[in-house]
Amino acid sequence: MARKIHEQAARVQRQYQDVFKRNIELEREVAVLRELVELDTLIPELLNRRGVEKAGKALLAGLSREGDEKRRTGAENVVLVMIDADFLKRFNDEAGHDAGDEMLRVLGSTLRTGIRAGDLAARWGGDEFVVVLPNIAPMTAQVLMERIAANFEAHRFRFTCTAVHGISFGIAHTEETKRWKVLLQLADARMMAHKRWRKRGR
């Protein structure tokens, strides 16, 4: 009888250990999935829309804090840049969608390597990207983006296209508003104005 009870207790103990082990594995899997849903599927080195919204809103929330709490969050101001890859449709039509994807990957890599370590770069969706730059003057951000644009335009692709690759971008900053949605709207409107200006110049 005692032996039977002992065997049953041992079996329950093994089941408990198996469940505990599986719970740990599930927690790890959830952590991986959580990371995946905040990274872009085409360009994993960049955040996706969900990831940059979460991080960007956290930065903006930190701007309203005071004293020691504000010093821990770090940001004194934030610049948001909306970026559009010019002529992606023509690249897709003339050279194929693999070529279009390659162009987006190169742009993503150029953004990532062109910004500072603490900055955020994300693919917003399709041919649009977002960069979030804490603690930088708007004019300095303009110079930074012009340098990134020049580096991207200097890239030589393996495929040919009648369109000249490049980017249009618009900048908004927290001296104008500390609301994420409004920052996006301002940056997007300026990006579209920049795109129209670039098209007139070609």
pLDDT, tens digit (0-9, with 9 covering 90-100), for 74-99? 578 999 999 999 888 887 888 888 88
pLDDT, one tens digit per residue, over 105-136 is 999 999 999 999 999 999 999 999 999 999 99
* Distance of alpha carbon 101 from alpha carbon 167, whole angstroms: 15
Burial of 82 (0-12, 13-18, 19+ CB in 10 A): buried
Give the pLDDT of residue 62: 86
Please tell me the predicted confidence (pLDDT) of residue 55. 93
How far apart are alpha carbons 37 and 63 in whole angstroms?
A: 26
Which class for 105: exposed (0-12), middle (13-18), buried (19 or more C-beta within 10 A)? Answer: middle
Cβ pair 162, 87 in contact under 8 A:
no
pLDDT at residue number 34: 47
Question: Which pLDDT band, with edges at 50, 70 and 90, does 68 fall under?
Answer: very low
Would you state the pLDDT for residue 4? 62
Point out which residues pair with 122 in neighbouring strands: 47, 130
Q: What is the DSSP letter of 165?
A: P
| pLDDT given at position 69 | 47
